[in-house]
């Protein structure tokens, strides 16, 4: 079976410097890179608020899925990285508000730090087009 590949980039400086894609679609599979709450103007959304950061990131990821012809109902796996596992309930609340009915796999991992001290959450996800429940 031959699967076509499409790389999606969105013009961020780090994409150009490192040569990575924000999203890659291979056949029906859609993979979104780790995403933080950086806004288009370069500032961090939701400083000191893990719920606001997680909600912002998840909403951003749902919009990106549309570019690949996918939607939230097709999300299979979500990986959350947080600088403090004490934030887990607030992050889980944002996750549940958007994805409770979909019930994708969720892994939450505590890490030491992200790019900026004000970034508390990074999220990546995988989806498969045509996998709606």
How far is the CA of 22 from the CAs of 36, 48, 56, 133, in angstroms? Answer: 12, 25, 16, 26
32 by Cβ neighbours in 10 Å (0-12 / 13-18 / 19+) ranks as buried
Give the per-residue pLDDT at 15.
83
Q: What is the CATH number of domain 5-128?
A: 3.30.1330.40
Question: pLDDT digit string (tens) for 57-99?
Answer: 999 999 999 999 999 999 999 999 999 999 999 999 999 999 9
Buried b / exposed e along 82-110 (16+ C-beta atoms within 10 A): bbeeebeebbeebbeebbeebebebebee
> With bands split at pLDDT 50, 70 and 90, how would you rate the model's confidence at 12?
confident
Mean pLDDT of 105-111: 98
Mean pLDDT of 26-48: 95
> With bands split at pLDDT 50, 70 and 90, how would you rate the model's confidence at 132?
confident
Give the per-residue pLDDT at 1.
66
Give the per-residue pLDDT at 10.
87
Domain boundaries, the chain: 5-128
Between 122 and 18, the more confident residue is 122
Is pLDDT above 90 for 11?
A: no
Q: SS3 for 64-105, per residue?
A: HHHHCCCCHHHEEEEEEEECCHHHHHHHHHHHHHHHCCCCCE
All residues at 6 or more sequence positions from 2 whose CB lies less than 8 Å from its CB, including other chains: none
Give the per-residue pLDDT at 38.
92
Average pLDDT for the chain: 95
Distance CA(111)–CA(14), nearest Å, equals 21
């Amino acid at each position: 079976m031959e699967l076509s590949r499409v790389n999606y980039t969105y013009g961020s400086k780090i994409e150009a410097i490192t040569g990575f894609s924000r999203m890659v679609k291979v056949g029906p599979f859609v993979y979104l890179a780790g995403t933080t709450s950086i806004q288009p103007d370069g500032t961090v959304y939701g400083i000191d608020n893990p719920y606001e950061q997680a909600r912002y990131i998840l909403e951003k990821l749902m919009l990106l899925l549309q570019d690949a012809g996918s939607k939230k109902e097709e999300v299979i796996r979500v990986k959350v990285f947080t600088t403090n596992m004490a934030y887990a309930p607030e992050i889980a609340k944002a996750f549940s508000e958007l994805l409770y009915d979909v019930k994708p796999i969720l892994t939450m991992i505590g890490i030491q730090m992200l790019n900026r001290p004000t970034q508390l959450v990074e999220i990546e996800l995988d989806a498969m087009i045509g996998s709606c429940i």
